[in-house]
Amino acid sequence: QVQLVESGGGLVQAGGSLRLTCTASGRTFSRAHMGWFRQAPGKEREFVATITWTGDTDYADSVKGRFTISRDNAKNTVYLQMNSLKPEDTAVYYCNADKSFRISNLKMGDLWGQGTQVTVSS
């Protein structure tokens, strides 16, 4: 069974940092496109960041300059380093993968993790 598992969420004060980790099990994803989305209560799921298998990255304007996405293909792992966190970053963060198409604000991948909660206090 192919699975994405997120970890690293938690509680942090505004201005703090967290690093989220997404690890794939069941297959190698070295050539898959990876991304992060988030969903706050009462809101639609929104794009956060993406990284292609070649390492090209893109970010939502709301997190640009604060978040960094990276990957370690040997470990089948993608990271989201989150700095200068704001209360509006509070959401469940989901790892996303697609073997064929680039993930973007317009296109979600076909494989999802279970999500990890990030809560940023004022």
Residue 28 has pLDDT above 90, yes or no: no
Quote the pLDDT of residue 99. Answer: 86
Question: CA-CA distance, 99 to 30, in Å (whole number)?
Answer: 9
Question: CA-CA distance, 46 to 44, in Å (whole number)?
Answer: 6
Residue 72 has pLDDT above 70, yes or no: yes
Euclidean distance between the first and final Cα of the chain, in Å?
40
Residue 59 has pLDDT above 90, yes or no: yes
Q: How many residues does the chain have?
A: 122
18-25 average pLDDT score: 94
pLDDT tens readout for residues 81-111 = 999 999 999 999 999 999 888 899 899 999 9
Q: Which residues of 45-74 are buried (b: 16+ CB within 10 A; e: fewer)?
A: bebbbbbbeeeeebbbeebeeebbbebeee
Q: 117 or 2: whose pLDDT is higher?
A: 117
Residue 87 CA from chain centroid, whole number: 17
Q: For all residues of the chain together, what is the average pLDDT?
A: 93
Give 38's strand partners: 46, 93
Q: 118 or 102: whose pLDDT is higher?
A: 118
Question: CA-CA distance, 91 to 2, in Å (whole number)?
Answer: 24
